[in-house]
Structure 1
Amino acid sequence: MEQTLNITAVASLNPIFSLFLLPPQKWSSYEYSLVTTQKLIPFGILFLSLVIFHHKNKFINIFNKNKRLPSLPPGPSPWPLVGNIPEMWRNRPAYRWINRVMKELDTNIACFRLGNTSVIAVNSPEIAKEFLKNHDAVFASRPLTVNTGILSLGFLATIVTPVGNQWKKMRRVLVHDVFNRSKMQWMLQRRNEEADNLVRYIHNLSSNGGSAGQVVNVRTAAQHYTGSVVRKMMFNRRFYGKGSEDGGPGVEEEEHLSALFTLLLHVYAFSVVDYLPWMRAFDLDGHEKKVSEVMEVLKKYQEVIVNERVQQWREGKKMEAEDLLDVLITLKDEGGKPLLSDDEIKAQITEIFLATVDNPSNAAEWALSEMLNQPEQLEKAVEELDRVVGKDKLVQEHDIPNLPYITACLREAFRLHPIAPFNVPHLSFSDCIVAGYFIPKGSHVLLSRFELGRNPKVWEDPLRFDPERHLKDGVATQQVSLAEPELRFITFTTGRRSCLGSWLGTTMSVMLLARLVQGFTWSMPPGVEKIDLIEADSLLLKDTPFHAHAKPRLPASVYPIN
């Protein structure tokens, strides 16, 4: 009886281990079963479940082998329930950890288990094309995440919205009513005004130093240009407030742009709650709080304009469309009713801002930074502009096809210095075989923009900034495009989820760099021998904003007057 009581006491504390305290012939004894059997069953099931989950990938591979299916891509062994989230948490930023693991495994495709989600990372163009070309329909959707839901006001827009009727509706609007050729031509004058203001702004800054020029924050100028172009096209205004006297951004524009880049940083930042939804109340990484805060900033500037404009149309105070906001408001369905709700308009406007302010400004900043370290490249760009455009007028959009070297410099910046480590994730609709591996339904597929562009199997001397690698035989005689359909690096991707505004993105990028190079002679700031090329840890901007000495190089009559 004493032995029975001792075993009972132990079993009540840890019923699983009590199995090993009693010989098998006594496991069915009345005393033992009465106390422990009911407790053992759920704990035993839990224990077996944990063991199975910990070795889930192995069980899947065994199951697939029995069915003669391929195995999952290689990857680190996951923990029960949480998968590889502990490693991801300890090794932030996550993209560096993912890239490091893939190098250690010597693989171009890997599977990371985050919670119950298989996250598939890819750094090979051939495998990337299998996903986005051969199996485009399977991987055309987007995962539902907390922050993308906040950004899109409940998945009402396009970029982050899963495939379905809402996505098809909004995509149709962008293709037929926003980014079509006639609308872009309609907005040409607005873009020209902001390209002129860019030159005016830098000229005003550089003129403060007299004939010697002045040091300019190129990042501020580049981001202000991209933000101003979208504001002018969308809202027919350069500033939310009064701006600055020199033509640069005011406090309001700086706050708005800062909110956009903060949103870009957090919207797909491997948030724990996206893989462990039951932890949402804790918001461990603070991403949801940060995204909610910056969305309030965006609403402060954007919603007041949208609400006021909608009211003007409803009251008949406005009768003619002057910008893209008017276009979105006046779209009608088959019954003559407004096609888009107010929230759909607001969500889509935010996505358009996000999609246009980042890549052109980042590529131009990196390109000019690299070119200043290799002066012969800057000289070639200047020579091309002088030959094609001349010095008596400013470069215009119609000159872009004749500027292959400038475009090649931007291609190289996109290749070597993407602003984000991964593309927007793709979600698999069904089980699929890609590159000989089993990709489960519900997987998130990430193309590594960082590693694709630096893949030594694709690019010779991949860390060197070399625009001529994008020119035939190194000669700038043919047209060059920023698009990269072979996915050797990422610009506008391909397939159903390719960028709908690729023409606008290309035009803004080339005009920005061309105006910077044509309008000013750039040199190192005083005391600087070489521009640092250190990347930030999250968004892959330069770790410190690019400052350079600018001096006007064209006749004074060419520069726009205040």
Structure 2
Amino acid sequence: MKMASIETGDTLFLLLTLSLCLIAWFLLSSFTKKTKQQRLRLPPGPPHVPLLTPLRFLRRSSFDLEPLLRRFRAKYGPIFALRLTKNPSIFIADPALTHDALVRNGAAFSDRPFGNQANRLLNANQTAITSAAYGPLWRTLRRNLTAVVLHPSRIRRYADARRWVLGILFSRLRAQAAAEEGVVVVMQNFQFAMFSLLALVCFGEKLDEKTIEAIEEVQKTANASFAKRAVFSFFPTVTKIVFRRLWNSLLELRRRQEALFLPLIRARREIRRVRKSQGVEIEEGGVYSYVDSLLDLRAPFSGGERELTEGEMLTLCSEVLSGGTDTTATALQWIMAHLVKEPHIQEKLYEEIRRVEAEEGETITEEMLQQNKLPYLKAVIMEGLRRHPPGHFVLPHTVKEDMEFHGHLIPTGAVVNFTVAEMQWDEKVWPTPMEFRPERFLPGGEGEDVDITGSREIKMMPFGVGRRICPGLVLALLHLEFFVANLVKEFQWKPAAEGEEVDLTETLELTVIMKHPLRARITTRPSIAN
């Protein structure tokens, strides 16, 4: 009995000792964690002076800030911070750090900053895929887009629409050349062609020229207002009064969008009703459009799952029209500018097209593009995207909770920016980075095995990387290859006048565009069959 009592006492003593050790370990861990968290600081950056610092930086666009950001990168390192609003802006300007943030820690960095009142007015309270918070709604909307418009089988079904739009583009170029002694200004024609194509994808109908031009105009106005809307990030109750005229112009802009988009959405709803009553599938004699998918969709909102409102469908269509038009038309103009400026590249590309058509015994098809039978064409496209990414920054990211990143604090709500152009012009990766040299992407070149999605490593990221990578990447590449190939095959492109230089100066609208739009002299080439 005495022995049993001693053993019981030893056991209790051991359990008590273990419990005290666990409590001490827990308290020490909590203290260490708290102390470490207290030691963490924002990434380094220039001093912050309330009111003065925001005024200094926010009166400039991100494009105008780039030279200053380069100096900050040289001074403070590849990750630095600017304090402009209550939430700091953090800039990451290093491929390895970017890969670590957006790929390895993709879930943590995949949220979007909460938009100001003006942006939420125009994107239906952040219902657009690009602005929606990382979560169930975003996943539902993105999955719907990729499954409907961007699924490979759907992309193939729009082949006839691409040929239709190519015919429209050729007709407009020829008409302008005939009226201007062979000279064309290409950007407006490229944008009209892309709007025509994506309007058909959105609404399922070939819209007339007047309607396309009206939609194009209202979308341009919305894009042009983007930078101005930043003022509503500060003291919104006050700024809505001080900038009343700007606020009223945004309300009018939304009304104009509704006047153009809602009749098209309602017309599609009615077409579906009639065909359903007749027992006819919506795709018979037409296409299953983006609006069709939105009318069929139920999405998770804070109040529960429901159908989309007309305003939310308007926002999603507007997003596809602007996102798919401006980036593609901008990239297309930059590529054609280099083909005019450097005719030896244009002729090498033309010779590849001639050779492939002779070998295949038929004109260039989308299947040939997808099978990479024109490697120099693909190299030209990739070099255009590397040298002139449509956006010099990806859309801002944010984190939902404080986190440590490479010894720095990334606080909740901080706006995290990634410097796309700087990484794509890195001399350590791309020798003579400002030179336009498609051979980089041919066998033996430094871009031969580049992963444009950034899943393995980041050398270039014109479409972003990680979970928020542009869902239209594959479609955009197809459109660029399709239109560049056909434009070079159909026309010879030369400077507008003897001795006139192509000016590659950049400026910012929604995308980074040519400050002086490309003017070129075109002449119809003889048929390759001849």
Scaled by the length of structure 2, what TM-score is found?
0.81
Letter of the 1:356 partner, please give it.
G
| C-alpha distance 375-398 of structure 1, shift in aligned 2 (>3 A) | same
Residue aligned with 1:445, SS:
strand
| C-alpha distance 314-197 of structure 1, shift in aligned 2 (>3 A) | same
Letter of the 2:232 partner, please give it.
V
CA contact (8 A) 1:156 1:343 kept: no
Tell me, in whole angstroms, the C-alpha distance in 1 between the residues paired with 2:217 and 2:390: 15
Counterpart selection for 1:313 from 269, 272, 277: 272
The answer for the alignment partner of 1:33 in structure 2 is none
Establish whether residue 541 from structure 1 lines up as the match of residue 513 from structure 2.
Answer: yes
The answer for the alignment partner of 1:374 in structure 2 is 342
Letter of the 1:320 partner, please give it.
E
Measured after TM superposition, the shift of residue 116 of structure 1 is 0.3
Tell me, in whole angstroms, the C-alpha distance in 2 between the residues paired with 1:547 and 1:451: 28
Measured after TM superposition, the shift of residue 429 of structure 1 is 1.3
CA contact (8 A) 1:114 1:275 kept: no
Tell me, in whole angstroms, the C-alpha distance in 2 between the residues paired with 1:548 and 1:489: 29
Scaled by the length of structure 1, what TM-score is found?
0.76
| C-alpha distance 434-102 of structure 1, shift in aligned 2 (>3 A) | farther
Tell me, in whole angstroms, the C-alpha distance in 2 between the residues paired with 1:113 and 1:64: 24
Tell me, in whole angstroms, the C-alpha distance in 2 between the residues paired with 1:88 and 1:431: 25
Counterpart selection for 2:468 from 478, 497, 502: 497
Residue aligned with 2:88, SS:
strand
Measured after TM superposition, the shift of residue 122 of structure 1 is 2.0
Establish whether residue 231 from structure 1 lines up as the match of residue 199 from structure 2.
Answer: yes
CA contact (8 A) 1:116 1:275 kept: no
Letter of the 2:422 partner, please give it.
E
CA contact (8 A) 1:403 1:479 kept: no
- Per-residue CA distance 1:129-167 (angstroms, 9 max, x = gap): 111012111111111213431232122231111123322
1:17-36 equivalences in 2 (<5 Å): none
- Per-residue CA distance 1:287-344 (angstroms, 9 max, x = gap): 655554444443332221102222343465674323314532552659xx98544333
Tell me, in whole angstroms, the C-alpha distance in 2 between the residues paired with 1:464 and 1:507: 24
Letter of the 2:364 partner, please give it.
V
Residue aligned with 2:417, SS:
strand
Establish whether residue 136 from structure 1 lines up as the match of residue 71 from structure 2.
Answer: no
CA contact (8 A) 1:407 1:480 kept: no
CA contact (8 A) 2:194 2:324 kept: yes
- Per-residue CA distance 1:373-429 (angstroms, 9 max, x = gap): 122111111111111235986532112122222222222222222233321111111
| C-alpha distance 68-344 of structure 1, shift in aligned 2 (>3 A) | closer
Counterpart selection for 2:189 from 217, 221, 244: 221
Measured after TM superposition, the shift of residue 219 of structure 1 is 0.9
Tell me, in whole angstroms, the C-alpha distance in 2 between the residues paired with 1:327 and 1:282: 40
Measured after TM superposition, the shift of residue 65 of structure 1 is 7.6
CA contact (8 A) 1:223 1:361 kept: yes
Residue aligned with 1:358, SS:
helix
CA contact (8 A) 1:331 1:340 kept: no
CA contact (8 A) 1:271 1:287 kept: no
Q: Which runs of 5+ in 2 are unaligned?
A: 1-32, 300-304
| C-alpha distance 122-194 of structure 1, shift in aligned 2 (>3 A) | same
Tell me, in whole angstroms, the C-alpha distance in 2 between the residues paired with 1:435 and 1:283: 41
Residue aligned with 1:541, SS:
strand
1:405-554 equivalences in 2 (<5 Å): 405-474=376-445, 483=453, 485=455, 486-538=457-509, 539-554=511-526
CA contact (8 A) 2:187 2:333 kept: yes
Residue aligned with 2:240, SS:
coil
Tell me, in whole angstroms, the C-alpha distance in 2 between the residues paired with 1:115 and 1:338: 35
- Per-residue CA distance 1:91-121 (angstroms, 9 max, x = gap): x124432541442451322211122011111
Identity %: 22
CA contact (8 A) 2:453 2:465 kept: no
| C-alpha distance 480-93 of structure 1, shift in aligned 2 (>3 A) | closer
Counterpart selection for 1:257 from 216, 223, 227: 216
- Count of residue pairs brought into register by the alignment: 479
CA contact (8 A) 2:440 2:446 kept: no
Tell me, in whole angstroms, the C-alpha distance in 1 between the residues paired with 2:500 and 2:70: 36
1:118-157 equivalences in 2 (<5 Å): 118-146=88-116, 147-157=118-128
CA RMSD of aligned residues (A): 3.3
CA contact (8 A) 2:240 2:247 kept: no
Tell me, in whole angstroms, the C-alpha distance in 1 between the residues paired with 2:246 and 2:114: 15
| C-alpha distance 290-449 of structure 1, shift in aligned 2 (>3 A) | farther
1:392-411 equivalences in 2 (<5 Å): 394-400=363-369, 401-411=372-382
Letter of the 1:328 partner, please give it.
S
Tell me, in whole angstroms, the C-alpha distance in 2 between the residues paired with 1:283 and 1:500: 38
Residue aligned with 2:416, SS:
strand
CA contact (8 A) 1:108 1:123 kept: yes
CA contact (8 A) 1:206 1:552 kept: no
The answer for the alignment partner of 2:230 in structure 1 is 271
Residue aligned with 2:506, SS:
coil
Q: Which runs of 5+ in 1 are unaligned?
A: 1-62, 244-249
After TM superposition, the structure 1 stretch with the greater mean CA deviation from structure 2, 142-151 or 354-363, is 142-151
CA contact (8 A) 2:108 2:399 kept: yes
Letter of the 1:331 partner, please give it.
D
Tell me, in whole angstroms, the C-alpha distance in 2 between the residues paired with 1:413 and 1:494: 18
Tell me, in whole angstroms, the C-alpha distance in 2 between the residues paired with 1:83 and 1:428: 27
Tell me, in whole angstroms, the C-alpha distance in 2 between the residues paired with 1:286 and 1:472: 56
Residue aligned with 1:196, SS:
helix
Measured after TM superposition, the shift of residue 89 of structure 1 is 3.5
Tell me, in whole angstroms, the C-alpha distance in 2 between the residues paired with 1:206 and 1:102: 42
Establish whether residue 111 from structure 1 lines up as the match of residue 111 from structure 2.
Answer: no
